[in-house]
Structure 1
Amino acid sequence: MTEYGRGEGSEPWHPEDPLYGDGGWGGQQAHTGQQSPYGGQPQHYPEQPQQPQYDDGGWGDGQQAAYGQAQQQYQQQYGEQHHDQQHGQQHQQQHGQQQYGDQQYQQQYSQQPYGQQQYAPQPQQQYDNGSWGTGTHAHVPYTDPSDPYAQQQQGVAYGAEQQPDFYGTPDAYPPPEPPARRRTEPEPQQADWDPGPDQGEHAFFSGADDDEDDSDDRDDSKGGRGDRKGRGGKPKKRRSGCACLVVLLVFGGGLGGVGYFGYQFYQNRFATAPDYAGEGTGEVVSVVIPKGAYGSTIGQKLKEAGVVKSVDAFVAAQEQNSKGKTLQAGAYLLKKQMSAASAIEMMLDPKSQNNVVVRPGERNISVYKAIDQQLELSSGTTRKAADKGYKSLGLPSWANSNKDIKDPLEGFLYPGTYPAAKGMKPETVLKEMVSQAAEKYEALDLTAKAKALKLDNPLQVITVASLVQAEGKTDDDYRKMAEVVYNRLDLANPETYGLLQFDSTFNYLKNESNINISESEINSNQDPYNTYTQKGLPPGPIGNPGDGAIKATLNPTDDGWYYFVAVDGVSKTEFAKTHAAFLKLKDKFDASSGS
C-alpha cells in the first residue's frame, strides 16, 4: 500500500467511502446532484447496497464483491498502476514526509471511532516523479490500519467535518480530470507579441487602432476571452499611429538627406556654378578683404555683399585669370550683381581699391592725410583723432617713453595696405595699423635686441630703424647705414663724437624733404630732433620703418663706416670710414648736382 494509489489489501472499502461501489469519478457528482457536461443531465450509476459496519476488519461477501467491482472499474478507466513500497519511501525522503492532510487533522481523527468519522473528499497533493503522466491520483485510497502509513493517509482521505470541500474548486482535479468534472476549454489568449489574426503580421503593422482594443475589452467583460488583466496583471499595450508617423518621418528624412547631398554632389561635380551676367548694376558697395584671405574667403565676402552670385563661380574665375592670385587685402569699391570674371578685373584695377597704403618710411602726417581723403573727411580729422585717442589704439607698453615725442603713433603705423572705405571711423583704420605694428615688434623680442645693441629700450630700436629707412636706398645700404648710426652714437668715436648729423631728422621736425640745408639754419635750431646740434638719437622715430630696415637694424655690418653721401642725389649712396674720404664723396656730389 503506497500513498500514490491502492494496492491489494485485506480490508474492504467502507460504504460511505466516495469511491465505494460503482461511484467512480462521476459518482461523487451524481451523489451531490451536479450537472454532467455530457448532455446536461445528471449521470446515474447503479447504486450498491449498503453494507453493515464492520468492527473486526473482516470482509463480508457483499463488501468483497463491491470492492472487486470498484477495483475493476478503476482499472478499466486508468489501467493497472502499481507502485511498491520502495517508491513511497523514496517520495517521502524527497518531499520531507509530506502528507495529504494536516497533522492536526491526523491527531484529531486518528483517536475517533472509525464508524463516527465523516467522509469528505479532500484535495490530492500533486506529485510528478517522472513516471506518471498526470502527476495526480483521482481516487481516495483505503488504508490498512496495520500499515505504518495508514494513520497518516487516513487523516487525508477522510477529512474533518470542519474542513471545507476543496473538491468543488477548479484545482481539485488537475488535468486529466475525470469526465464528470471536465469543462469546455477556454479560448486561448494571445500574447502581447502574438502577430494577431493575420498570422505573421506584427501587431505594430496590423492596422489595429485604439477603438479595436476598446471593443476587445468590452467583449471580455461579457464573458468572451476573459479579463485581459488576468495575464500577468499587465494591460495590453495600445498600438498608436504616432509610431507609424515617426517611422515615416525617419524614412522621409533619410530619403530627403540622401537626395539633397546627391544633388549637391552633382552640382559640385558636373553642374555649372551659379553666376551673374555682365558688369553689374549701378549700385556701388565697399567690400573689405582681410589679410591672408583665400579665394573662397574672398568669394564669400563678395557673395555676402551681393557682388557675385556664388563662391564657386568666383573661385573658378580666379583660377582662370592669370593675375587672380595677386589680389591683396584691402577695401574695394565694386558693383552689385557682377559676373565673377568682371569682379576679378575690377578688383585688379587700382581705381577700385578703397584702401590706404602705408609705405615704408612714410611719416604719420602723410598717412593721416590719406585716411581723410579715403574716408571723405575734412582735413586734419584723423590727426585730431590720433592725438586724442592714441592710448586706446593698442600701442605697446614701452611706446612713448620720451616726453619730447612729437607724435605718439610715429613708427607704429606699420607699412601695408589697409581698408579705408567711406563710412568707417578713422580710429578703426588707425587701430588696424597699430595692431599690425605691435604684433610684428613683439615677435622680434625687441627688449632683448635693444640690450644686445647697447640701446636703452625697444623704442630706440624702432627709432634707429626709422633713420636707416629714411637715409638708405637698398637692403645693402640699410645694413651699412645701421652701422654708421651705431658708430656715431659712441660718444668716444674720433669722427663725430656722438653727433649723428642726419638731414632726415631736421627735415622731420620741419615736415620737409630738402637736400640742401644751410649750415646757418641747421646750427641755429636746437630742437631735440635736430641731430646736428643734439647728440644721440632723436626722442622717437621719424617715420614708419619697413621689414628691410628693421632687419638691417638688428643685423648691421661691422666694417667701420662713419660717413655716407648720396652722390647722385637720388638713389646711389656711397660710404666712407674717414673724414678725408667723406670730403671726396662730397665733391663728387657737388659735381653731379652742379653746385
Structure 2
Amino acid sequence: MSGGRERKKIFPEGIHLSKRSGLTLAFTLLMVLVGLFALWSLLWPLTIAKGNVRIVVQSGSSFSEVADALVREKVVASSLNLKVLAGRSGADKRVLPGEYQFRRGMSYTEALDVLRRGPIKKVFTVVIPEGFTIDQIADRLKARTEVDAEEFRRLAKEGRTSDHASSALWSYDFLESNPGSSLEGYLFPKTYRIDEDTTADEFLNRLLAQFEKETSSLDWSVAKARNLTVYEVVTVASLIEKEAKIPEERSLIAAVIYNRLQMGMPLQIDATVQYILPMKKTGLTEDDLKTASPYNTYLQLGLPPGPICNPGLACLKAALNPAEVDYLYYVLTDSDGRHAFTSSYEDFVKAKQEAKKGLK
C-alpha cells in the first residue's frame, strides 16, 4: 500500500512539471517568432507601393533626413528600421549628395545598397548672394559645380548678341526695356540646386525665371510715376545693394539717388567706380575717381548704363519705395556700414570730418 501511495504522489507532480515545460516551450517559440518577425521587418518592406522614385540628397543632409524622405516616398516603411540597419553596417556615416533612384516597396537592405552605390547624378548646392556680379557668379559656378563657367560668363554678358544663347533667355517681359546685351541685374540671388548635366544656358534661364517669380508681386507704379523703366529701377536697386549695409538705410539711399537725379547732380557713388576697376579696393584714390567710364558716376550725370550687380528683393523694393526725405548726401560713420544722411553740403562736410576722426 505504501508503494501505491508513492506512485500517486509522484504522478500529479509529473503532470505539473509537464505543464511548466509546455509554458516554457510556448514562450520560447513566441520569442523566436517575435525575433523572426523583427528580422523580417528589418529586411523586407511593409509597404505595397509600386513604381520608381528619384530622391535628391542635398549636401549636408543627415542620414535621419534621408531615411525620413525614403519613408515619405514609400520606398521603405520605417525610418527607424532603416537607421538601425544602417547603424549596424556603418552605412549611416556618409551619404553622398546627389540624385538617387529607388523603387517603392524596396527592402531595407536594397535601399541601403542604393545609397552605398552613390547617386546616379551628382547635385550641387550653390549660393548666389545678393550683390554678386556676373563674374562672381561665374567664378562660384566654376569652383562648386560642373556648369561651364566661361560659357555662363559669355552668355550672361553677350546675351542676345551671342550665337549660343537660346531665344528663351530674352523672352521675359522684364527684359524689354534692357537696351544692352548683358543680363547683369536680373540673375536673381538665391540658393540653387544644380545637377551635373545643367548647362550654362539652362542655369541662366533658372536665374531669370526666379527673378520673374520673385518680382511678380512688386508694384511698378512708382517707376512709371518717375518715368523710369524696369531696367532703370533694377539699376537703382543694384546701386542700393552695393551701398546699403544696414537694412533700414536702403530706402534712404534710394531717396538720395532719386533726389540727386531730379536736381541734375552727379550721383558720385563709389560702387560704380569699383565696378569698373579690375580689382576691388578697400578705398578709392583720386586717380580712381577720375577713371574714364560711362559707369563712373563722379564724371557722368544720371544713372550708369546698367546695373552694377544683381540685387536682391529687398533692394528692388527699396528702389520702388524710396523714403520721403530731402537728403542729398550720406557719409559712412560706423564700421558696421551705418551712414549719416544730410540735406545740405555743409552738414555733409561736418559729418565727413567727424567720420575722419575714426569709425566707431
TM-score range, shorter chain: 0.5 to 0.7
Output aligned runs, 1:262-273, within 5 Å: none
The CA deviation at 1:583 is: 1.1
Counterpart contact for 1:418–1:429, Cα < 8 Å: no
Give runs of aligned pairs for residues 34-45 of structure 1, distance below 5 A.
Answer: none
1:539 aligns with 2:312: no
In structure 2, the partner of 1:487 is 259
Structure 2 residue 356 is the aligned partner of structure 1 residue 590: yes
Shift of 1:505: 0.9
How many Å separate the matches in 2 of 1:431 and 1:300? Answer: 31
Query: Secondary structure of 2:217's match?
Result: helix
Rounded to whole Å, the distance in 2 between the matches of 1:399 and 1:469 is 20
In the TM superposition, 1:318-329 aligns within 5 A as none
Q: Is the 8 A contact 2:174 2:212 kept in 1?
A: no
Q: Which has the higher contact order (CA 8 A, sep 6+)?
A: 2
Could you list the per-position Cα deviations for residues 226-269 of structure 1 after superposition, in whole angstroms to 9, with x for gaps in the alignment? Answer: xxxxxxxxxxxxxxxxxxxxxxxxxxxxxxxxxxxxxxxxxxxx
Alpha-carbon spacing, 1:570–1:414, altered in 2? closer, same or farther (3 Å):
same
Quick check: which one's helix share is greater?
2
CA gap 1:553/1:449 in 2 versus in 1, 3 angstroms: same
Specify every segment of 5 or more residues in structure 2 that has no aligned partner in the other structure, as ranges.
Answer: 1-40, 46-53, 59-64, 84-95, 103-107, 113-121
Q: Distance in 2 between matches of 1:432 and 1:574?
A: 39
Amino acid at match of 1:483: A
Q: Deviations over 1:451-480 (max 9, x none)?
A: 12x133111111111111110112211011
Deviation at 1:353, TM superposition (A): 7.7
Shift of 1:361: 1.4
Q: How many Å apart are 1:582 and its aligned residue?
A: 1.1
Cα deviation, residue 332, structure 1: 4.0
Matched, 1:476 2:248: yes
Question: Compared with structure 1, are the counterparts of its residues 424 and 486 closer, same or farther at alpha carbon in structure 2 (3 Å cutoff)?
Answer: same
* Higher alpha-carbon Rg: 1
Q: Give 1:32-431 correspondences, 5 Å limit.
A: 287=56, 299=69, 309-310=75-76, 313=79, 332-333=97-98, 354-376=124-146, 380-386=150-156, 387=158, 388=162, 389=165, 391-393=167-169, 396-399=172-175, 401=177, 403=179, 405=180, 408-431=182-205
CA shift in 2, pair 1:300/1:550, >3 Å: farther
Q: CA deviation at 1:437?
A: 0.3
Structure 1 SS opposite 2:188: coil
TM-score, length basis structure 2: 0.64
- Tell me the alpha carbon deviations over residues 187-208 of structure 1, each in whole angstroms, 9 at most, x when there is no partner: xxxxxxxxxxxxxxxxxxxxxx
- Contact kept, 8 Å, 2:268 with 2:297, in 1: the verdict is yes
Partners of 2:202 and 2:311 in 1: CA distance: 21
Decide which of 280, 284, 297 is 1:513's aligned counterpart.
280
Distance across 1 between alignment mates of 2:196 and 2:231: 33
> Does residue 462 of the first structure (1) align with residue 231 of the second (2)?
no
Kept in 2: contact 1:286–1:421 (CA 8 A): no
Distance in 1 (CA, whole Å) between partners of 2:283 and 2:311 is 24
Which whole-Å deviations, capped at 9, do the CAs of 1:499-543 have from their partners, x for residues lacking one? Answer: 1000111111225432422223323x3311111111111111111
5+ residue gaps, structure 1:
1-270, 276-284, 290-294, 318-330, 343-351
| Residues 335, 577 of structure 1: alpha-carbon distance in 2 compared, 3 angstrom cutoff | same
* Equivalent AA in structure 2 for residue 425 of structure 1: T
Q: How many pairs were matched up?
A: 271
Q: Distance in 1 between matches of 2:243 and 2:154?
A: 29
Aligned partner letter, 2:222:
K
Give the 3 Å change call, closer, same or farther, for CA 526–301 of structure 1 in structure 2: farther
- Contact 2:250–2:315 (CA<8 Å) still a contact in 1? yes
Distance 1:364 1:522 in 2: 23
Q: What amino acid maps onto 1:473 in structure 2?
A: K
Alignment TM-score, normalising by the size of structure 1: 0.40
Tell me, yes or no, if structure 1 residue 561 matches structure 2 residue 327: yes
Say if 1:486 and 1:273 are closer, same or farther in 2 by CA, change over 3 A: farther
